[in-house]
Amino acid sequence: MLKTMSMKSVLVSGAAALAIAGQAQAFEQSRSAECIAPANPGGGWDFTCRSVGKVLTDLDYIKGNVQTVNMAGAGGGVAFAHTVSKRADDEALIVAASTATTTRLAQGQFPGMNADQVKWVGTLGADYGVIAVGKDSEYTSLSQMMEALKADQGSVKFAGGSASGGWDHLKVLITAKEAQVENLPKIRYLAFSGGSEALVQVVGGHVDAFTGDISEVKGFMDSGDLRVLAVLSEERLPEPFDQIPTAMEQGISSVAPNWRGFYVPGEASQDSYDWWVNTVDELYKTQEWKDVMVKNGLMPFKKSGEEFTQFVKNQTLDIQILSKDIGLIR
């Protein structure tokens, strides 16, 4: 494999391997690992599991394979409950998470469960939100779409891969609020079990607009079937996404980064948790992962261990307040 790697990759990967070798004395994965993607294939969580699993395997962080298991339902709630109730001490399990996860926790959508029941490992970048339409859509700009919503809040039907009230839904409501659209609860949103299903509905002309993340839309952008009206970032993303205008360019101050990361079962040993934290930290530094980020529009965003755990708590509180402000919860 090293014959196809750059010298920089060899050096970075070698340093990572040495770091992991030191950790292995305390804890070592004894078998193949499993990554639960809390949605159907094709969405952001699925991308997180499969892309991270491939790099973990290619660079020999894991002796066996990293198997991705898709477990859709309740906006991540099925996977969260499965981890807490049936896999609470599984040291070879990681679960893909994102801002969508903290959103559901903030809104109390995982009944009887909370963020303290799992251990938060770390992030591997941020995936910025987008609002997109099919190639034949009447809408050619985000501002034009927002004007239509001002006239009739039910005039545009949105599809996303999170549950109603989840992060994909929130992106639309935040954007509409910044555009001075009133009666936000009247905006129509259809929840699907992953971004790929929502995209198929939009590309097929069954739903007006897609709300999701940049990593989910590249395939349909490349084929010309999807037109992205705006990326919800502070400034334009680098190539190959640099032609997409931001919402801010169109006079709408909507910014919606979606971090990508993992949690592990709450009763897994401290040694195994430390191994996952250190491994994800090292993976983030490799050239292989940097290449994945560039290819898929992920922006730098790194938190891990205790810092990430505190970040999750803070973000959960912030989203809870926001959800109350726009009428999603009381």
- Res 2: pLDDT: 34
Structural domain ending residue among the three candidates 191, 226, 250: 250
Residue 141, pLDDT above cutoff 50: yes
Do the Cβ atoms of 297 and 155 come closer than 8 Å?
no
Structural domain ending residue among the three candidates 231, 250, 269: 250
The answer to whether residue 330 is domain-embedded is no
The answer to whether residue 162 is domain-embedded is yes
9-18 confidence digits (pLDDT tens): 444 444 454 4
- pTM for this prediction: 0.79
**Hey, what amino acid is at 310?**
Q
Share above pLDDT 90 across residues of the chain, in percent, rounded to a whole number: 78
User: How far apart are alpha carbons 216 and 17 in whole angstroms?
Assistant: 31
What's the Rg (C-alpha) of the chain?
A: 20
118 and 19 fall within a common domain? yes
28-75 confidence digits (pLDDT tens): 776 789 999 999 998 889 999 999 999 999 999 998 899 999 999 988
User: How far apart are alpha carbons 233 and 210 in whole angstroms?
Assistant: 17
22 and 95 fall within a common domain? yes
DSSP 8-state class, residue 246: B
- Res 167: pLDDT: 93
Share above pLDDT 70 across residues of the chain, in percent, rounded to a whole number: 92
Do the Cβ atoms of 258 and 112 come closer than 8 Å?
no
- Res 225: pLDDT: 97
Q: What is the CATH number of the domain that holds 242?
A: 3.40.190.10
Tokens of 247: 């919402």
Mean of the pLDDT values across residues 294-316?
94
Measured CA to CA in angstroms, residue 3 lies from 57, 58, 107, 286 at distances of 17, 13, 49, 16
Do the Cβ atoms of 65 and 92 come closer than 8 Å?
no
9 and 34 fall within a common domain? yes
147 and 8 fall within a common domain? no
Residue 99, pLDDT above cutoff 90: yes
187 and 119 fall within a common domain? no
Mean of the pLDDT values across residues 281-306?
95
94 and 159 fall within a common domain? no
Do the Cβ atoms of 196 and 219 come closer than 8 Å?
no
123 and 19 fall within a common domain? yes
> Among candidates 124, 58, 51, 126, which has minimal Cα distance to 276?
124
pLDDT bracket for residue 279 (50, 70, 90): very high
> Among candidates 164, 163, 212, 214, which has minimal Cα distance to 187?
164
Give the residue numbers spanning the domain of 218: 128-250
Mean of the pLDDT values across residues 194-216?
95
The answer to whether residue 217 is domain-embedded is yes
pLDDT bracket for residue 150 (50, 70, 90): very high
Residue 19, classified by CB atoms within 10 Å of its CB into exposed (0-12), middle (13-18) or buried (19+), is: middle
Q: Give, for 191, the enclosing helix (H) or strand (E).
A: strand 188-191
209 and 319 fall within a common domain? no
88 and 113 fall within a common domain? yes
DSSP 8-state class, residue 111: T
Q: Count how many domains the chain has.
A: 2
User: How far apart are alpha carbons 269 and 274 in whole angstroms?
Assistant: 9
233-274 confidence digits (pLDDT tens): 999 998 889 999 999 999 999 999 999 999 999 999 999 999
Measured CA to CA in angstroms, residue 33 lies from 29, 69, 82, 97, 280 at distances of 8, 11, 16, 17, 14
Q: What is the CATH number of the domain that holds 280?
A: 3.40.190.150
Structural domain ending residue among the three candidates 196, 229, 250: 250
Tokens of 158: 């949105």
The answer to whether residue 237 is domain-embedded is yes
pLDDT bracket for residue 26 (50, 70, 90): low
